[in-house]
Structure 1
Amino acid sequence: MGGRRFAYLDSGGPGPDLLALHGHFGRGRIFAPLAAAPAGRYRVLAPDQRGHGLSDHGGPFTPDAYVEDAAALLRVLDAGPAAVLGHSMGGAVAFLLAARHPDLVRALVVADMTVRNHVPETQPVLTSRAGRAVPSRARPCAPPSRRRASRTPVTSWTARWSSRTAGGCFSTPTR
């Protein structure tokens, strides 16, 4: 796994654990309203998957890599077996996680997933109006003492989320 660092949100509830996996171009914070609803009863973990949000960028971007990242998060946080919710690409990751690491998955919920996964016809996937690849604006996941405040506008749910959650980084073991 090369020591890759991942950002994640942790609602900090007493359990049981729910791992929420976003789709392509998403990030863990899309599950903030979900985590706020059962606050105090469940622990919701929502990582920024590799190449997304504040997690380290760079490939490989394969189903196998995403699955091993999710398994590593659950093991590092001693969170398994967990219910796993996957949206879109996260649904494919959730299916494979359950198949390859059944000891880590208690239940499976998949939403809005396709069974086809193919390379986009055009590269790069995102381009600017000038036709150049769009550079990532996400910052790498930094230790808590070095993280900068989010530039996300504060709304009622983000204020509640921030007050109830811990978050952090974890690094996968270097092989």
Structure 2
Amino acid sequence: MGDDEIMEDERYSRVGEAYIVRRLAKTIADELGEETAEKIMYNAGRSLGEDFAAKKGGVYDPAEALAILRAHTVRSDSYSIDMVDGYVGKDENFVAIVKIENCVVQRIIGQEFKKRPLLCRFSRGYIEGALSKLTGLDVKERVFKSENEPFPTCHGRITFSKRKE
């Protein structure tokens, strides 16, 4: 039985869902190439994030936008985005140090999330798209550490900067 073959007892579980999503991402990468697959995942996430933010209207400062995104992502399954620290960095950019716990993509792909796989591009796109639309600023999210205990958790930096004209 191959690594991605679904066992009978896994057919209707999250494990079964994980196989489907991972296979979809792998097939896109195999057919179109890794770079194109990354763009597809990122753009799909970004579009979804922008759609969510458009429903909120208005323009918010970065801390308010993070609070809106956090309120939207808090679910019964413990998914959360928390701002651990914030400061004004070089070029007057606002930088938020964040902790993302129990991300849906991390849960779906399981232990492999530590490798920052292709599917994490979807999450990056979602976060950047939502926060950019909410603030009117350029937003870049970067993860610098991932761990699995007690929940799948990524630690990262979100930088908000004025849009270049």
- TM class by shorter chain equals under 0.3
Greater length-normalized contact order (CA 8 Å, ≥ 6 residues apart):
1
- In terms of fraction of residues, the more helix-rich structure is 2
Structure exhibiting the larger radius of gyration computed from Cα positions: 2
